[in-house]
């Protein structure tokens, strides 16, 4: 914290940074101090976060990015066709649906944040930032003192001095906010500002960890690995101070504080019994282990039942409609449950009027809803009380028939399953099987779903050799353009970007376990992708503690990552030494293949993941273009 104290960051900047969380949900809020003068030195501490957050947001799929940016524009420019409350709720729902770190974005928070965005940045700068995000290409979003409306910020200070001073006091006294940037993936905070800590897949109260020596040792080992000389006792002391002070704030300022915590990436947590631990998130009743659930009083089943089955957690269960239009394959142990509840999975279909209402909301130029709209329910019943389980420990496979859909008009390879969340369609995967004429994907949660056709192309690939692969992977939301209509197929690909492609390909939930890489920070857009790829065995560093995320990926590195992805899918990747010699012998530049990469390069040829740059050269040390990388991802997608 010495650097922050030296620069004495203005309280005023808090308001500005809060304002950015409206459109930058990945932003880490910078700690602040007392000065009321905006200087370039102060802004230079905030600006790296702004640039990284803008880059992350600009990398979202275009249809999601476009929707949120337009809503923000309408609000900050005063062009509001609906009530402020409805608009802010709409933005909150959209942000909640597109992020992947469970930020608890609420309309109450966004009222303050949207007003900040509207008020504290000059209109020219605001327009420039939004234009760059919308284009998908960030050139310069850094702020200069002239970009800040200091009069408006001063007024905000006066209105919210309690929460601002609270944040400053906690930072300067070494309390919880000191710990957040390196630990936000492990921290959870409930509605009463009690702090919890996640160890692996289980969330514990700090009291429970402190009282259990094994858990305490585990937590201290984790903290030691992070290399900042902290112990669990430090966190307990900080958390107690934080919780006590936070509960003393007014209701409005508590909402503002929650917005700050959300911007840090700290997940909101609902304990199963008010304290203790709970695995896997919030639970309405506290009796269902694994996954997350909600009380039966909060769920009203809609639609017409087309299939249902009781679930025995010791066996695989199949739930299918009588016409085989839809099937769910539920693995044994899909959730952890030892309380004797009766478990039942149901498939309901919405009527045509309900489906049309949804289609009218989600259909855009390149996205079309096809067929029926389904509601999936996983209900646990005990003592006459129902609990609906919304997420699982193991994925459930869903298979939908394309019978009745005109596949001459809609390329079946570009049809996928989408989750419908209000007026937003969220891609959930889907691989086409020509033999059965079905789309199959895996779901880690239940909601409203429909098949949709996404047909996206770019003006700079019309005659490119990889046009088909690029459009195919764009339809699967694995890749996007650098703008709404350009792909830049000959552009370079970094190691972090390829790791992100693989995580999207595999549809793997983000992992929170730390990595040894000192050059992969929690504020980086690729943090979750690289961390997850490392934890599931897809990537290695260039050294014991360096990943080199921004280095352009070499072809041999890409071959190794792709092969590990194939292995993660459960596919055969075996290769004998004789085969290594045989496959490498066809290339004149075999001597250029690094020793560690020989098996991976040979196996990439054997399994048709990658071929040579020419018939006689592999070019292992050459860097890859975006088109080449997407061609590899396309082949892997079809191998699933």
What's the pLDDT tens digit per position in 432-457? 999 999 999 998 888 889 999 999 89
- Determine the Cα angle at 372 with ends 434 and 640, to 5°: 35
C-alpha to C-alpha distance for 309 and 316, rounded to whole angstroms: 12
Residue 346 in 3-state DSSP?
strand
Which residue, 531, 562, 533, is CA-closest to 634?
Answer: 562
Q: Which residue has the higher pLDDT, 224 or 410?
A: 410
Per-residue pLDDT, 382:
86
Tokens 């700050």, located at residue: 260
Q: Which residue has the higher pLDDT, 523 or 554?
A: 554
Give tens-digit pLDDT for 464-473: 999 999 999 9
- CB contact burial 309-327 (16+ within 10 A = b; e otherwise): bebebeeebebbbeeebbb
Tell me what the mean pLDDT of segment 108-122 comes to: 55
From the number of C-beta atoms within 10 Å of its C-beta (0-12, 13-18, 19+), residue 457 rates as middle
Which parts of 248-378 fold into alpha helices (H)?
Answer: 251-264, 352-362
Give the number of other Cβ atoms within 10 Å of residue 188's Cβ. Answer: 23
Q: How would residue 298 be classed by pLDDT, with cut points 50, 70 and 90?
A: low
pLDDT category of residue 201 using cuts at 50, 70 and 90: low
Query: Does residue 1 have a pLDDT over 70?
Result: no
Core vs surface per residue 596-633: b (16+ CB within 10 A) or e: ebbbbbbbbbbbebbebeeeeebbbebbbbbbbbbbbb
Element of type H or E holding 153? helix 150-159
- The 10s digit of each residue's pLDDT in 311-341 is 999 999 999 999 999 999 999 988 876 678 8
Ranges 186-190, 486-490, 572-576, 604-608: which has the least confidence: 186-190
What are the residues whose beta carbons fall under 8 Å from the beta carbon of 434, sequence distance 6 or more? 412
Question: What is the pTM for the complete model shown?
Answer: 0.56
Query: 247 vs 177, which has greater pLDDT?
Result: 247
By mean pLDDT, which of 286-290, 350-354, 588-592, 594-598 is the weakest? 286-290
Nearest CA-CA partner of 442 in 489, 392, 492? 392
pLDDT in tens, 408-439: 999 999 999 988 876 677 888 899 999 999 99
d(CA 78, CA 334): 48
Where is average pLDDT lowest: 91-95, 554-558, 603-607?
A: 91-95
pLDDT digits over 573-619, tens only? 999 999 999 999 999 999 999 999 999 999 999 999 998 899 999 99
* Mean predicted lDDT score pLDDT of the chain: 75
Give percent above pLDDT 90 in the chain: 33
Q: In DSSP terms, which residues pair with 106 in a beta bridge?
A: none
Q: Could you give the CA distance from residue 169 to residue 534 in angstroms, rounded to a whole number?
A: 37
Residue in 215, 216, 204, 214 with CA at minimum distance from that of residue 275: 204
Quote the distance between the C-alpha of residue 534 and its chain's center: 16
Of the listed ranges 209-218, 364-373, 388-397, 555-564, the least confidently predicted one is 209-218
Cα–Cα distance measured from residue 491 to residue 482, given in angstroms and rounded to the nearest whole number? 10
- Arithmetic mean of pLDDT, 255-281: 51
Q: Of 447 and 7, which is predicted with more confidence?
A: 447
DSSP 120-143: HB-HHHHHHHHHHHHHT--S----
Q: What is the pLDDT of residue 288?
A: 38
Give the separation between CA 601 and CA 544, rounded to whole angstroms.
22
pLDDT higher at 254 or 505: 505
- Cα gap 177→476, rounded to integer Å: 39
Kindly list the distances between the CA atom of residue 336 and the CA atoms of 298, 333, 458, in Å, as whole numbers in the listed order. 22, 6, 45
With a cut of 50, say whether residue 362 has pLDDT above it. yes
| Residue 235: HSE in the Cβ half-sphere, 13 Å Cα cutoff | 29
User: Over 50: is that where the pLDDT of 14 sits?
Assistant: no
DSSP structural state of residue 44: H
List Cα–Cα distances, 117 to 85, 130, 219, 577, in angstroms: 16, 11, 39, 60
- pLDDT-derived band of residue 31, with 50, 70 and 90 as boundaries? very low
Please give the full DSSP string across 223-269, using - where no structure is assigned.
Answer: HHHHTS---HHHHHHHHHHHHHHHHTS-HHHHHHHHHHHHHHTPEE-
Among candidate residues 449, 429, 426, 448, the one with its CA nearest the CA of residue 439: 429
Q: Tell whether the model's pLDDT for residue 160 goes beyond 90.
A: no
Q: Which of 253, 209, 247, 251 is nearest to 231 (CA)?
A: 209
Residue 302 has pLDDT above 60, yes or no: yes
DSSP of 494-558, one letter per residue?
BHHHHHHHHHHHHTPPPP----S-TT--TTSTTHHHHHHHHHTTS---SSSS---TTSBPBHHHH
Share above pLDDT 70 across residues of the chain, in percent, rounded to a whole number: 66
The answer to whether residues 633 and 568 touch, using CB atoms and an 8 Å cutoff, is: no
DSSP element (H, E) containing 561: helix 555-568
Q: Would the pLDDT of 244 be above 60? A: yes
Q: Give 509-522 pLDDT, tens digit per residue.
A: 777 677 889 998 87
Phi/psi class of residue 193: alpha, beta or left (left: φ > 0; alpha: ψ in -120 to 50)? left
Element (H, E) at 45: helix 40-58
């Amino acid at each position: 914290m010495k650097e922050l104290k030296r620069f004495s960051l203005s309280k005023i900047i808090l308001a500005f940074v809060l304002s950015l969380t409206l459109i930058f949900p990945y932003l880490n809020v910078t700690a602040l101090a007392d000065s009321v003068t905006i200087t370039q030195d102060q802004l230079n501490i905030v600006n790296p976060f702004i640039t990284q957050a803008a880059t992350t947001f600009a990398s979202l799929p275009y249809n999601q990015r476009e929707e949120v940016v337009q809503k923000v524009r309408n609000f900050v420019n005063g062009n509001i066709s609906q009530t402020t409350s409805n608009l802010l709720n709409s933005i909150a729902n959209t942000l909640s649906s597109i992020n992947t770190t469970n930020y608890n974005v609420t309309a109450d928070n966004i009222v303050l944040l949207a007003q900040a965005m509207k008020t504290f940045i000059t209109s020219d700068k605001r327009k420039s930032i939004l234009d760059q995000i919308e284009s998908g290409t960030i050139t310069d979003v850094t702020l200069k003192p002239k970009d800040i409306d200091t009069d408006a910020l001063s007024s905000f200070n006066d209105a919210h001095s309690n929460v601002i001073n609270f944040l400053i006091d906690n930072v300067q006294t070494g309390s919880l906010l000191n710990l957040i940037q390196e630990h936000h993936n492990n921290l959870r905070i409930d509605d009463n500002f009690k702090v919890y800590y996640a160890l692996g897949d289980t969330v514990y109260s700090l009291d429970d960890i402190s009282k259990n020596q094994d858990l305490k040792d585990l937590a201290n080992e984790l903290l030691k690995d992070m290399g900042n000389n902290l112990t669990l006792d430090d966190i307990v002391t900080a958390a107690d101070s934080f919780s006590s002070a936070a509960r003393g704030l007014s209701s409005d300022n508590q909402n503002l504080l929650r917005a700050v915590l959300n911007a840090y990436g700290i997940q909101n947590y609902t304990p199963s019994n008010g304290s203790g631990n709970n695995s896997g998130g919030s639970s309405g009743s506290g009796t269902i282990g694994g996954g997350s659930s909600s009380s039966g009083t909060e769920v009203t089943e809609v639609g017409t039942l087309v299939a249902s089955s009781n679930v025995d957690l010791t066996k695989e269960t199949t739930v299918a409609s009588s016409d085989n239009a839809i099937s769910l394959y539920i693995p044994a142990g899909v959730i952890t449950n030892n309380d004797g509840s009766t478990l039942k999975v149901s498939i309901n279909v919405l009527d045509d009027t309900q489906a049309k209402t949804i289609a009218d909301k989600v259909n855009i130029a390149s996205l079309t809803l096809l067929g029926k709209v389904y509601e999936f329910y996983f209900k646990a019943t005990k003592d006459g009380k129902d609990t609906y389980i919304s997420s699982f420990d193991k994925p459930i496979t869903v298979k939908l028939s394309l019978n009745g859909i005109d596949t001459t008009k809609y390329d079946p390879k570009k049809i996928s399953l989408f989750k419908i969340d209000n007026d937003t369609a969220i891609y959930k995967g889907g691989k086409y099987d020509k033999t059965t004429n079905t789309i199959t994907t895996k779901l880690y949660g239940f909601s409203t779903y429909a098949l949709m056709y996404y047909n996206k192309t770019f003006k700079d690939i019309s005659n490119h050799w990889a046009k088909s692969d690029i459009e195919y992977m764009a339809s699967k939301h694995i890749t996007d353009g650098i703008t709404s209509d350009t792909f830049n197929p000959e552009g370079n690909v970094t190691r972090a970007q390829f790791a992100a492609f693989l995580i999207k390909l595999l549809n793997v939930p983000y992992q929170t376990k730390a990595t040894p890489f000192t050059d992969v920070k929690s504020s980086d857009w690729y943090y979750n992708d690289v961390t997850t790829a490392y934890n599931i065995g897809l990537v290695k560093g260039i050294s014991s503690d360096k990943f080199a995320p921004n280095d352009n990926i070499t072809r041999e590195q890409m071959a190794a990552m792709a092969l590990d992805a194939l292995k993660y899918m459960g596919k055969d990747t075996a290769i004998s030494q004789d085969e290594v010699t045989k496959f490498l012998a066809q290339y004149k530049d075999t001597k250029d293949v690094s020793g560690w990469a020989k098996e991976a390069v040979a196996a990439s040829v054997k399994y048709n993941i990658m071929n040579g740059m020419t018939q006689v050269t592999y070019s292992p040390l050459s860097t890859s273009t975006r088109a080449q990388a997407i061609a590899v991802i396309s082949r892997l997608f079809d191998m699933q």
